[in-house]
Chain A
Amino acid sequence: MQNRRNSLFLLAAALLGAGLCVAAEPAYRLQGRAAPDFALRATSGSNFRLSEHRGEVMLLVFWGSRCGQCGTQLTSLSHMVDTYRSAGLAAFAVNVDDDQVAAAEFAMAHPVSFPVLLDPAKAVARQFQVDNLPMLLLVDRAGVIRHVHRNYRSGSDAQYLDQIKILLDE
């Protein structure tokens, strides 16, 4: 009897956990739609406009200096972008910190091979309905948002890579 009760408790906990996981990953309303165009200044001083990269597969990652996983993700993405740049992969890391000095220091500590753009007013983050950091979007060659990833876990890189390869082949 006690065993049965324990089993039922575990089952209920598992269902609740699964429910919470589903609730933690709400549907992204822009998926399947054209990525909004924007222009932002990079830490290097140059300006970048998204629409100028139409025809390339674009990887957009929104990050903040107080996000624990962001540094690891950026370093990992940098290697991936280096490998697939010649195949038509472009990447932009959009920082949403209010403090641009903190953002620049974080970017210096985690150097990446792609432009780090500054969005202190969060206008672009609002356009893209960013609700979590880090948040990664994959945009196809036609400018349509195809994949969204909230959070960064072990195994995320392999998933990104599979999706990037498919988008590059299209």
Chain B
Amino acid sequence: MLASFRNLGAALLLLGSVSALDAGARENVSARDGLELATSSAHNWAEDSVLVYLENDDIVDAQGSAARWGYLFYSAHLDRWRAYSLSDDKVENAGELGFAFDAPQVEANWIDSDRAYAAAEKAGGRAYRDQNSGALRSMLLIRGAFGEDDPNRTTWTLVYDSAHAPSLFVVVDAENGDVVRAWKG
């Protein structure tokens, strides 16, 4: 058996050695682009795990894409939360959340980050950035927390920040891309 392994052309490594990470620039992707890998990883951790939260882990560009996204999964069987931070189609970091976060599973048919970003920009995000020298700080996908009149709703929430004005929050329905509400605070 081992002889056949050698015949496969196995690469010889040395224990204790650490290979250098790719140093090239990371490609910006939409949130859905990493979903399959994140889900696959989470299912290897816990078969029953479900996505409960998603957030950009790097700067969101003008297309609603980012070099890194963070995906949070919950396993009812283990009663634990585990997050995966992905970039370049690889799991860059995985770990326990460190605190309980009892969010429900997000709906499966959520719109991608590019559509959510475009909707928020149109609903005041772009104007806020222009008028206040602001920037989009975070965009997060969660179910229930920002649903207000419909707690079953999964929403994208985009948070714009500026040093000269209160933050702007824009909540976008993750099913149809409609802006649910926007406020400053």
Q: Do A and B bind each other?
A: no
B interface residue numbers (CB < 8 A to A): none
Name A residues whose Cβ lies closer than 8 Å to a Cβ of B: none
